[in-house]
Amino acid sequence: MWSLRGRMAIVGVAEAGLGVAPKGWTPMDVTAEASLRALADAGLSVRDVDGVFSASAYYQMASVELAEYLGIKPRYTDSTQIGGSSFMTHVEHAVGAISAGLMDVALIAYGSTQRTDSGRLVTQAKPFAYEEPFRPRHPVSMYSLVASRHMHQYGTTREQLAEVAVQARAWARLNAAAFERGPLSIQDVITSRMISEPLTSRDCCLVTDGAGAVIITSAERARDLKQPPVYLLGTGTAHWHRHISQMPDLTVTAAVESGQRAYARAGLGPADIDTVQLYDAFTINTIVFLEDLGFCRKGEGGPFSANGAIAPGGRLPVNTNGGGLSYCHPGMYSIFVLIEAVRQTRGECGERQIKDVEVSLAQGNGGVFSSQITLILGNGATV
Amino acid sequence: MSDERKAPAAEYVRRLDAGHLAYQECRDCGHRFHYPRISCPSCSSRAVEFRDSRGLGTVYARTVVHSRNEPPYNVVLVDLDEGFRIMSRVDGVANDAVQIGLRVRLKGIEPGRDGVMPAPVFQPAEAR
Ligand SMILES: [Zn+2]
C-alpha cells in the first residue's frame, strides 16, 4: 500500500480579516490577503503555486475566481464544496494530485465577510424538500435534534453542553486573535437567548468575517522552505448522509469511519494525539466527535469533557484557539481547524501552546454532521 | 424504463394529496424508506413499491425553534412503525410535552404552497 507518512507537508498557514474585515473588503479580498500571508509564511510566492483549491458561499467557481484574482494560472484546480469541511478535504485531494504528479504546490484558501454583510450565515444550501415544510432553523435545529437524542440516550446534561462553550472560551482568552474573549460561565450559556432547544446562542458558533489559507507541497520541496514542515501522517474521509432525517443514528457520525481511516494510515491511535482540533459549530459537536474519534466511549463525551478536562491545563487539549465557538467562524471553518493543528504542531502558539506536541488531529465537519474528514499531522520527529 | 412510470416525488405527493403518508418498500431486500426514489438505497434494486403508512410512530428526536416574530414551534423526527423516519411536527399538545418516546399518529396533511411540499403532521396517539 502507498504510504502517506512523510511524503507531504503543510508549509504555510495564515488568517486575515478575522472578526470584522477591513471596511469595504470583499470575501475575495480577505481570501487573497490570507493567501499572500500563507505564502509569505512558507517563504514562497504566488508564482510557485500551480494548484488552487477553494470553496465559497459567494463564488460558485471559487478556485477559478481566486486564481484569476491572484494572477495564478494553475495546472490543477478544485472547487469541491461539501460544506464547512471542504478545505480539509482539499488537503486530501492535494495529496492525491501531488502524488500523481499533477502539481507541486497547492494553495487552499477560504474567506467570508458574512458578519459585515448580514450578521448571519451566508449559504447557498437550499432547504431539503421533505424537511422544508417544518421550518427547522438551518443548521442549528439539526444539531439540536442530535443534542436531544444524545441527552435522551446517554444522559448528557444541559450543563455538560454549556461546559464545552465555557472551556472553548477559556482557550480563547489565551488567544489574542480570538473574537470573543470575555468571561463566560455555564449559567451564561444556559440563560442566553434560546435558539432551538436545547441549544442557546452561546451553544452556537460565532458569526464573524475572516479568511484562512494553507500551503501544501511534497516533503522534498518542503525541506528548503522557511518553516519546519508539518507532515501529513493520516487522512480519512467519510459521509453517510446529507440530510438530518436520513442520518441513521443521530448520536454516531461518519467521523467514526474517517477517524479509523486516518488512524490506520498514520499507524496511530487516540492515545498518540497531543492536541485535538475539532469543528465545533455547536457545543454538541465537540462531545460527539470526542466519542467518534475514540477519545472516550460512545455516550461518555459529556462527562469526559466536563470539569475542565478539555480546557487549558485539562487532560486533553481540545480546540486550543477557542474554536468556532469563541475564536472565529466565517461560515465555513475547517481551514481554521487545520491552521491551529499546524501551529500547535510547529509549537508557535505562545501562551496557549501545549508542551512537546508531536502529533495533532484535526476534524472537519460539513453539512449537518454530514461530510467528515480527519487529518493527522506530525512534526519532524514523527517521520 | 417504461414511459408511464411515475416520477417518484409526483406519486408521493399524489398520495399525500389523498391524505396518505407514503413510503417505499423494496421487493428484493425488504428495506423500507422515505424519501421517494427510483431505486433502493440498501440494495439498489429498482423493484421499489409505494405503500401507505398506518401513520403511527414514535418521536425519535425533538427541538423547539424560538423566534422573535412568532410563538415557539416544535420540529421532530418521527420513526414510523413501518420502519422509516421523517421530519415533522406534533400538534395538539404543548411543546414541552413533545418528548422523545412520545407515541404519535398522523393528524393530517397540510397542503403545500409556493413550491413547498404538502406536510404530514402528527398529534399524540391518544388524542381523539
Ligand atoms: Zn433493496
Q: Which of A334, A336, A344 is nearest to A377 (CA)?
A: A344
Residue A118 burial (CB < 10 Å; 0-12/13-18/19+)? Answer: exposed
Which of B15, B34, B52 lies at the terminal end of a domain, its last residue?
Answer: B52
Check whether A122 has a pLDDT greater than 90. no
Catalytic member of A76, A231, A279, A333? A279
**Domains contained in chain A, CATH given:** 8-119+209-231 (3.40.47.10), 135-205+234-382 (3.40.47.10)
pLDDT digits (tens, 9 = 90+) for A15-51: 999 999 999 999 999 999 999 999 999 999 999 999 9
Catalytic member of A58, A59, A263, A327? A327
Residue B66 burial (CB < 10 Å; 0-12/13-18/19+)? Answer: middle
* pTM more than 0.90: yes
CA distances from A284 to A144, A203, A291 (A): 8, 8, 11
Q: Which of B88, B68, B94 is nearest to A194 (CA)?
A: B68
B107 and B60 housed in the same domain = yes
Q: Domain tally for chain B?
A: 2
The x, y and z cell numbers of residue B114, run together, are 409556493
Q: Which amino acid is at A84?
A: G
B82 and B41 housed in the same domain = no
Which of B29, B52, B75 lies at the terminal end of a domain, its last residue?
Answer: B52
What's the CATH number where B7 sits?
A: 2.20.28
Q: Do A152 and B87 touch (CB under 8 A)?
A: no
Question: Please, are residues A258 and A237 in contact by the beta-carbon 8 Å criterion?
Answer: yes
Q: Quick one: pLDDT at residue A121? A: 72
pLDDT band at A125 (very low <50, low <70, confident <90, very high): confident
B86 and B73 housed in the same domain = yes
pLDDT digits (tens, 9 = 90+) for B48-85: 999 999 999 999 999 999 999 999 999 999 999 999 99
B47 and B61 housed in the same domain = no
B106 and B78 housed in the same domain = yes
Across B96-114, average pLDDT:
97
Q: Do A136 and B101 touch (CB under 8 A)?
A: no
Across A304-315, average pLDDT:
97
Across B82-94, average pLDDT:
98
Q: Quick one: pLDDT at residue B6? A: 80
Active-site residue A154, yes or no?
A: no
Q: Which residues are within 8 A (CB) of A118 and not within 5 positions of it... i.e. 6 or more apart?
A: none
Active-site residue A76, yes or no?
A: no
pLDDT band at A366 (very low <50, low <70, confident <90, very high): very high
Higher pLDDT, A121 or A102: A102
CA distances from A244 to A73, A122, A195, B103 (A): 39, 20, 18, 21
Q: What is the whole-number distance in angstroms between the Cα of residue B30 and the centre of ligand 1?
A: 6
Check whether A123 has a pLDDT greater than 90. no
Q: What integer best gives the mean pLDDT of chain A?
A: 97
Q: What is the whole-number distance in angstroms between the Cα of residue A337 and the centre of ligand 1?
A: 39
Check whether A158 has a pLDDT greater than 60. yes
Q: Quick one: pLDDT at residue B1? A: 46
CA distances from A132 to A140, A207, A258, B62, B73 (A): 14, 23, 29, 16, 14
Q: Do B86 and A196 touch (CB under 8 A)?
A: no
Q: What is the whole-number distance in angstroms between the Cα of residue B47 and the centre of ligand 1?
A: 8
- The whole domain housing B9 covers 3-52
Helix residue ranges per DSSP H, A233-282: 255-266
pLDDT band at B3 (very low <50, low <70, confident <90, very high): very low
What's the CATH number where B101 sits?
A: 2.40.50
Interface size between A and B, measured as CB pairs under 8 A: 76
